[in-house]
Structure 1
Amino acid sequence: MGRQKRIWHPPKFYHIVCRGNRRDPLFRDRYDFIEILHMLAKIYEKIPFQLVSYCFMTNHFHLQMRSQEQPISKVMSLLNKRYANYYNTKYRLTGHVFEKRFFSEMISDTNGMLEVSRYKTSVPVTTRNMSKGSVERNLYRAFLFMLEKLVPGT
């Protein structure tokens, strides 16, 4: 039995989650976090999308985004392939980096947008190894990334 085809509604936002294979770390140092942000920026140049918020944890990440020109699957395929290549090369590994295809859920309304944003900002707080300061930095970085895409040159 094949996988179910993903539904893409260009005007809708999606909550996306990617987890490391066997729940292994996806990000081993701060440069890994920076690299995936650079990759998102490069992909944005090729396929414009709107990233409303994100949360990067050690072994998984959340994105809240939409892509009106290409399906979300195209954006995520590019991101996951590029990051897996980077990760395996940097750490001299082979094989899968991600557990499976990314999870995506369409966000249907404003309440859903707020709920997903709240959830993503609470995830680091509920884990044992994150401090309040790191949460604030994560939110600030998300804001700067969005601002740069909305108002280039800021």
Structure 2
Amino acid sequence: MSYEHADTIDIDASPDTVYAVVSDVTRTGEWSPICTGCWWDSGDEPGPDGPRVGAWFTGRNQTSTRTWDTRSLVDVAEPGREFAWLVSGKLVRWSYSLEPVGAGTRLTESWQFRDDGIAYFHEKYGDEAQAQITDRVEAANSGIPVTLERIKAVIEAAKA
């Protein structure tokens, strides 16, 4: 069994502009309700064309009860189309998909708690696994719309 959630927002900016923002993981703390910051792991900094598939970055996450870091692997890096990463290389998949809509962009943020992630949580948390999974599902379901609104605000404010 896997858990998934996605939401969409329209942004008054081109897909290339939106992609440049959402693929810059070092800016994630500007819009994420849980991730306070990200940085590229040594040697994996993006090149002149931006991030690349196979690059790793670390993210710092914080809630009212704990702080933790995750490492993520860039899975898709298609300028103007999609940016996606896998937490711990396989446990959870996050993505931003972009499509042109008039002069703007329809941005979709997707989250998938994959079978490997569920198995990992059962191994790590034992009897508490389902409660931990439920927490993550609720965080994604409530956080994605907030994230999208903040990304829209950041991008559209830069145009003003």
Structure whose residues are more often strand by fraction: 2
Considering the TM-score relative to the shorter chain, is it more than 0.5? Answer: no
**Structure-1-length-normalised TM-score:** 0.35
**Structure-2-length-normalised TM-score:** 0.34
